[in-house]
Structure 1
Amino acid sequence: MIELIAALQPLVVGVVLIWSARVKLFSRYAAEAASRSALVRLLGQRRALPAYRLLGGVELTLGALLLLPPALRLEAVAASVLAVGFLAYLTYARRAAPASSCGCLSARSTPVSGRGLGRAGLLVLASGLSVVVPGGWPAALSARPLAGAAVLLAEVAAVVALSPELDAAWLLPLRRLRARLTHPLRGGTGVPLLATVQQLQLSDAYRRVAPLLRSDVREYWDDGDWRFVGHAALYQGRPVTAVFAVPLADQQPDTVRVAVVDDATGHTLLSLAGTAPPTGPRLTVVPA
């Protein structure tokens, strides 16, 4: 089986390289993509676009060589060197220019992330495997078409899953389908999430910690007679989660409780019980 997988790697790597070259050489947004990449910091604004185009030419040439017979070990070695270069560049970009765009498989602006590094690592493994166990992919695919198709499908799925630039083509439609099927604005108890959020936002507990919040509803779950709603927040300079407890049966905002939980340790840093608005001195939460 390892011989089959290794023989198919030039096909996988070649297709990825040609797809990447398409963006750099033929996209009308190539100049904009180059200006957002870490090449600007690495080479300067004037050299970024020529380097971007040159890299596209190298990818197109090497990708075509990998797809066309005969299968040469030198081609696999060159692909391995290029893949290692990609991984090194993305590592540099993430550390030196975290706001820069990857500019890899799409002109869409996508910051360098762990998924992009994982994809580069996958290409290093794929090209390295074809160096260690060389073979021609047409003969291997024709000899075992079903197994070969399964291997290719799995690798293509892995590349797509590790490519944030391609999320709009598959991940967003899946999320829309899930929303249509699961109706996320309605909890398992039959109480709409929107009603819970309205009750929550009218509560004294919410008003007291509102300066700390950094997101809308991030997660929620029901436990007995309570619905727990989580928001990302920042407290005294540390990332935390503000967890609101909202009673499902009682619609009064004053019954809402909140706990501020440290994301790193899980310790509760602040807890406010649901009470009526006080008439005396009031606890004021100062934003971090």
Structure 2
Amino acid sequence: MAASSSEDDGGKDSSRRVPSKSAPARAAVRDETPEDSSADESVTEDIIWKKKKETMLKNLPPGVDESAAKQILNDIIVQGDEVRWTDVAGLDVAKNALREAVVYPFLRPDLFMGLREPARGMLLFGPPGTGKTMLARAVATESKSTFFSISASSLTSKFLGESEKLVRALFGLAKVLAPSIIFVDEIDSLLSQRSGSGEHEATRRIKTEFLIQWSDLQRAAAGRETTDRDKERGDANRVLVLAATNLPWAIDEAARRRFKHGLSEDDLATLVNLTEGLKEYEDWAKEFGERGG
């Protein structure tokens, strides 16, 4: 009898232990739920972006090569790399200028039309490590824009004529995915000063095509007739070429003229003071002010 009673007690004890063992397992499942949901959201975004790419490739703008468009969509568009103003330490003057010149016009295009039409090109320059790329990423995030990040190597091909196709695809897709920001890092390597016989023909053709496509953005903005839709929502083709360089004096003159030069005398004086001690920057800042931009 004693043995059976102990067996019964053992059975009761084992039945009591089951809930206590399963409780932590349920807690662990609850702890993992947020991670699972974030992973599901990431997968959902990837699926949406994949379908969007397929749709765009079927409805490409005239003159855009499909293989070039695929390369742009796969390699150059930056997805999910958000940078906020709070992530950029200091640089308050630059951040305020970019808010007024880029972010606000992109968020409220209906208020920036006609004479208030925003610039189609802006240049960030300064010594290495001063936050130019971070500022560009923050501008794209804060203005809710598609961010195209390119360099000279992104648009270079060993096949004759392919580089020009990539440039056309870049600007064509930027218009389709507007509002868009085309960020050109180290633009002096892509649009350097054009020389006579020392420059390779392929390099010269890339520069020419890039400048033509860029000019088309400005002509479209300047010559566009205002429609009822524009009055309500503003220009749908909001595309900005935002460039960064350590060597502003090395950029081709034709490219430099396409950037917005809205510096007052006080701004130029500040620029000279900021570049004091950096001989090449200081000389260029003074020359920039004397030329009026």
Q: Which TM class, normalised by the smaller chain length?
A: under 0.3
- Between structures 1 and 2, the one with greater helix share: 2
Q: Which has the higher contact order (CA 8 A, sep 6+)?
A: 2
Q: Please identify the structure whose Cα radius of gyration is greater.
A: 2
- Between structures 1 and 2, the one with greater strand share: 1
